[in-house]
Structure 1
Amino acid sequence: MKKVGSYGGGFLSRIKRSAGDVLAFRWHEDGRERKRILGPVGQFKSEAAAWKEVERLGLGRKGSPETVEQLAQHWKEKESSRRAFSTSETISGYLANWIVPAWGSRLLNEVKAVDVEGWLGKLKLAPGSKKKLRDIMHLLYEHAIRYEFTDRNPISKVRQGGKRLGTPTRLNVIQLCRLLEVLPARERLMVLLDFGTGLRRGELSGLRWEDVNFEERELTPMRSIVKQHIGDLKTESSGKSIPLDEELIAELLAWRKETPYASDGDYVFASMKMKGKQPYWMSKIMQLYIKPVAAKLGIPLKGWHTLRHSYTTLLRQNGNDVKVVQDLLRHASYGITMNIYDSAVSAEKREAHSSVMRLVTRASTRTRQELGILASA
């Protein structure tokens, strides 16, 4: 018998037999050693595969995660509920579609920084997506360190930038006006409200009439609904009150008179099909009712976040202080506002550049004129 590796309260062993070696799991229970044959050695491509079979059979005592897949599952059980539903869904998607298929069977101590870096380099994904994969793997290992499953994080040494391949789409004032002019009342208010407040898609979906203070002319997000799952807001800052312009107040009041679901506890955009018990699926509304109209007008509307991006840039172009912009968008940090959302359009950059150049050229002209006067004197 040869001991292969340990896991929790048991270990794998290779047992020689005339018909061929087999793999067994051994553990101690009630002072006695117990054994369960898992199958022929050739049945398991790796040690991790054997541990997966041990787990499937429910053998021994449940111990620390040994593989990346086991660690990912442990993270979901312990940490997933601590995050916003949309964030947790995003992480789970990256785990299921990319990380677990590629690294799930690897033992935690087998993962090397250079191997992960090489894997990321071969993926046909945008740098931003690769950076997310790198960060999620880093998150998993930090989780493992917190629970003392390992004492090192190999992902800390993985180099992966997240530079955007292009500037996020923004709409200008003319494009927004053209779109608002042709949209029906429901979709018009959705677009106007989302743009004019910078609400995230889930926050827009979860908005109830009681969240709108018509006297104080402000809106306070209280919940986020993604895939009809009612969850917390993304960050603590997301719950800050948002001022509402008189035009938005008038649009909201007009819609409240039109919708059959106008009680304080009703959703502002309650689904007729669901008899007001659920809000509309905002992704479907955008895909089926708003984007087709925008496309006919030649307006490059990518989704709800395009409106949030546009709101940010127009706020900055209007000369508003960056701190004010941060508060309106309810970002947790100043850096997020500047690095992700704010992008001056080329005309604004050109004007800024020209204004500085004019200062220099005018000063240079005056200097040459003064020198000419001195030379002729």
Structure 2
Amino acid sequence: MDTTVVGLRPDPVSSYTTSTDVTDGLNRRQAEEAFAKVRSADRPPTADTSSRITVELAGEALKSSLEIRGRRKSHKLTVASDLKNHLAPFFDDRALSEITPDDVERYIRVKSKTLAMKTIRNHVNTLHSIFEIGVRKSWCASNPVKVADRPQIKKSETRIRFLDQPQLDTLIAGTFPDDVFGTIESTLYLTAAMTGLRQGELLGLRWRDVDFTARRVRVVSPYVRGEFDETKSIDSSRSVPMASHVGQALSDLRDRSHYSAPGDLVFCHPETGHPLDRSKLTRRFAKALAANELPKVTFHELRHTFGTRMAAAGVPIRTIQQWMGHADMKTTQIYAHYSPTDNEADTIDAAFS
């Protein structure tokens, strides 16, 4: 018998089916679960929820924040790496609210056994940002990184490593493996040492950025962590004088390269035209040093060769700062000890005579 009351519509809630065979849309149970998730996402975290927010979860919030703020890909990848490989495994499932300054200092002590202090300091900076997110979202009451003792990097301004002129000459004149990469190594190392460009700036250099007429090399779009990025700072976007030796080597490279159009990369893979692999370049550079019995330096320290040679030649520190793209003059001051002096030693001799 039909029990429907004339003039009344069926109750929309009671008319939902609870059958698990429904394939079109959500059944009542699924709809209620979905609605509960939406409601909980909009609520501020309670004391109970906050107690479950770990470094890993707060780190995901930091990554989202960096994405929204349009941070560079290289920075976002660094934060993701710090979180995945170091911070999250170390602090595990501990809630942010449970982590103390002593725990932060313990992290520093443990990691100092295997990592460079500069790397650990970068980790701590990432951890600081994670806790700042936590404080803003009420996941923790304070930021323990602020009061923890942070690692200090002792910089000895007289102990920077670099290749001197005879050592650089030996490297450039050395023999390289008989393969496609070996055809560009000499020019790459020479350009690095005589322009002071960073590795990413060299890998992103295009032929249109090399001005043979004005004898300048322009730094426009470095290749960092798999993408062409903006320069490191405002001062990093610059042009550097191109010595005749470098100009000739680059001209020869362009003549024999299959990729010599204005938009092509100067130091590309000789067979594909694609950017060089940074890790492979680092290994090749280390092998070149070993093959020529030269001191162990990093590829980056070829910049120190440029900086020290320019200072020794009497180039003003401010000019060196501009050429090397340092945002802070303090960074350039490490080369001040290599600048010539005006008869200072003679002055001391005269004073004690």
* Structure 1 match to 2:147: 157
* Structure 1 match to 2:126: 136
The one-letter amino acid of 1:79's match is L
Q: Work out whether 1:117 is the aligned partner of 2:105.
A: yes
Residues 134 and 158 in structure 1, CA contact (< 8 A), matched pair in contact too: no
* Structure 1 match to 2:219: 221
TM-score by length of 2: 0.74
* Unmatched tracts of structure 1, length 5 or more: 1-28, 35-56, 366-377
Distance 1:165 1:332, change over 3 A: closer
Secondary structure of 1:241's match?
strand
Sequence identity (%): 24
Residue 133 of structure 1 and its aligned partner are, at CA, apart by: 2.2
Q: Work out whether 1:285 is the aligned partner of 2:265.
A: no
Residues 321 and 329 in structure 2, CA contact (< 8 A), matched pair in contact too: yes
Residues 127 and 165 in structure 1, CA contact (< 8 A), matched pair in contact too: no
Secondary structure of 1:220's match?
strand
Kindly report which structure 2 residues correspond to 1:61-72, keeping only aligned pairs within 5 A, or say none: 61=41, 66-72=53-59
The one-letter amino acid of 1:154's match is P
Residues 128 and 164 in structure 1, CA contact (< 8 A), matched pair in contact too: no
Q: CA RMSD of the aligned region, Å? A: 3.3
Residue 83 of structure 1 and its aligned partner are, at CA, apart by: 3.6
Q: Distance in 1 between matches of 2:110 and 2:314?
A: 43
* Unmatched tracts of structure 2, length 5 or more: 1-30, 176-181
Residue 262 of structure 1 and its aligned partner are, at CA, apart by: 0.7
Q: Distance in 2 between matches of 1:204 and 1:108?
A: 42
Q: Distance in 2 between matches of 1:171 and 1:79?
A: 38
Residue 191 of structure 1 and its aligned partner are, at CA, apart by: 0.6
Q: Distance in 2 between matches of 1:122 and 1:159?
A: 14
Match of 1:304 among 281, 292, 299: 299
Higher percent of residues as strand: 1
Q: Distance in 1 between matches of 2:326 and 2:82?
A: 24
Secondary structure of 2:152's match?
coil
Q: Distance in 2 between matches of 1:195 and 1:88?
A: 29
Distance 1:220 1:83, change over 3 A: farther
Q: Which has the higher contact order (CA 8 A, sep 6+)?
A: 2
Residue 250 of structure 1 and its aligned partner are, at CA, apart by: 1.8
Q: Distance in 2 between matches of 1:95 and 1:198?
A: 32
The one-letter amino acid of 2:237's match is G
Q: Distance in 1 between matches of 2:310 and 2:160?
A: 16
Residues 130 and 160 in structure 1, CA contact (< 8 A), matched pair in contact too: no
Q: How many corresponding residue pairs?
A: 304
Q: Distance in 2 between matches of 1:217 and 1:165?
A: 35
Residue 74 of structure 1 and its aligned partner are, at CA, apart by: 1.4
Q: Distance in 2 between matches of 1:311 and 1:180?
A: 15
TM-score by length of 1: 0.70
